[in-house]
Amino acid sequence: MVHQPDPHQIIIARELQLSAGQVAATAKLLAEGATIPFIARYRKEATGMLDETRIAAIRDQLARLAELDKRRQAIIASLAERELLNDELQAALQSARSLTGLEDIYLPYRPKRRTRSMIAREKGLEPLARAIFAGKCAPSQPQDFVSEEKGVLTADAALAGARDIIAEWISEDAPLRVRLRALFADKGIITSSVVKKNQESGAKFRDYFDWQAPAAKTPGHRLLAMLRGENEKVLTLSFRPPEKDVLPMLQRHFVRKNDCCGQQVALAVEDSYKRLLAPSLENELRGILKERADKEAIQVFADNLRQLLLAPPLGQKRIMALDPGFRTGAKLVCLDAQGKLLYFTAIYPTHSERKQEEAGREVVELCRKYAIQAIAIGNGTAGRETESFVLALAQPADIIITMVDEIGASVYSASETARAEFPEHDVTVRGAVSIGRRLQGPLAELVKIDAKAIGVGQYQ
């Protein structure tokens, strides 16, 4: 029996420029429950030396196509149940290669809430709409649809209902939506403006109070900042191309003549775009840009975290660590070469001259007593002042003095892990110990902290 290749795997191989065998082997391993690190490290011979990035891409594509198939089957079942499915429609649905394409095909058949178009149809205005859209309506024809019983009191009301029906037809034109989607992506403009009543409370978003830029060129971190501002009701955002780039194109496409029918179609086109098409496509563009920005942010976080975790360790050195502060002074700890706490105290290097002298004598004495080889100073509040104080002391030249990133130390100091390690000490001592141990071995210390508290994202 000839084994038929999986169509999903063929699509993925083509999109990722991999061999079908590589994709098939990776898909099989993933289906068996193997993790990406395991596959990348221990199954290189099966995948053709794929790295973790390519394996993750295959996993994501498999999930996307599975979701597409699931939605496709749900749509086909819905259409079949309502006796709307035919061979042509089923073929179109089977050929759809994206969720947006699938939804575009389904849009005219989707069960709808009570829309303006539906109300107009209930009033018997669809024949008028068809005549107008085909350019075959006489000026007097709308009068024929006036009916007090149906709630169509005037010819203008009949025309308005017909336009509502035409507007919905236009909005459900799948090829048109594809064309407009590309136009939104290419020429869409992000416009941000301030909500006046929240201007003062939202001062941190002032850069975006009156801001405009092409959507395709807007950096991800700016988009995420604006979305936060919108979520806090400080900003209002729009994601649309200029109307001058859209409406003339739509008018050329749908308006055949500049007669009474053409004028009604032109009005329906404008209404369809502003009321139906633009909001829908704007939401799509917003979602695409948000997803892209999220991926960028995650990649920045991952790269920065990798750099921080893999920073070269100082090794087994005896450390003095200082967690600086102005009002409460600096918490000082001495650690042995394995990171064990030997001594702790508080000094006040930024207070009065007398306090500074006392602090200086204590630091020098402790360095001598514990044979300190390196001094780690937290880079937070009062960090530079504390560093200047330590550098000014008469210390042996072989003692290393360095600033250490203290982000997340306070989170660690209040954690269950820290309480288990140092049940007898308060959070200030635990935080200083964490700073010292980070110099000895960053990876061993930082893995104790929740990654999101380490502060290596785009705004930290």
CA atoms within 13 A on the CB side of 245: 15
Q: What is the pLDDT of residue 237?
A: 98
Q: What contacts 63, CB < 8 A, 6 or more positions away?
A: none
115-186+241-310 architecture in CATH?
Orthogonal Bundle (1.10)
Q: What is the pLDDT of residues 409-448, one digit of tens each?
A: 989 999 999 999 999 999 999 999 999 999 999 999 999 9
Q: What contacts 363, CB < 8 A, 6 or more positions away?
A: 320, 332, 347, 390, 393
Positions of E strands within 102-259:
189-194, 210-214, 235-240
Average pLDDT over residues 399-412: 92
Topology, domain 7-109: Arc Repressor Mutant, subunit A (1.10.10)
Supply the pTM of this predicted model: 0.77
| Residue ranges per structural domain of the chain | 7-109, 115-186+241-310, 189-239, 319-453
Q: What is the pLDDT of residue 3?
A: 55
pLDDT level of residue 4 (50, 70, 90 thresholds): low
Q: What is the pLDDT of residues 298-344, one digit of tens each?
A: 999 988 888 888 989 999 999 999 999 999 999 999 999 999 999 99
Q: Is the pLDDT of residue 1 over 70?
A: no
Q: Is the pLDDT of residue 130 over 90?
A: yes
Q: What is the pLDDT of residues 113-123, one digit of tens each?
A: 889 999 999 99
**DSSP codes joined into one string, 264-325:** HHHHHHHHIIIIIIHHHHHHHHHHHHHHHHHHHHHHHHHHHHHHHHTSPP--S--EEEEE--
Q: What is the pLDDT of residue 2?
A: 43
Q: What is the pLDDT of residues 38-79, one digit of tens each?
A: 999 999 999 999 999 999 999 999 999 999 999 999 999 999
Mean pLDDT, all residues of the chain:
93
Q: Is the pLDDT of residue 33 over 50?
A: yes
Q: What is the pLDDT of residue 112?
A: 80
319-453 architecture in CATH?
2-Layer Sandwich (3.30)
Closest-CA residue to 268 (of 172, 184, 365, 198):
172
3-state secondary structure of 194: strand
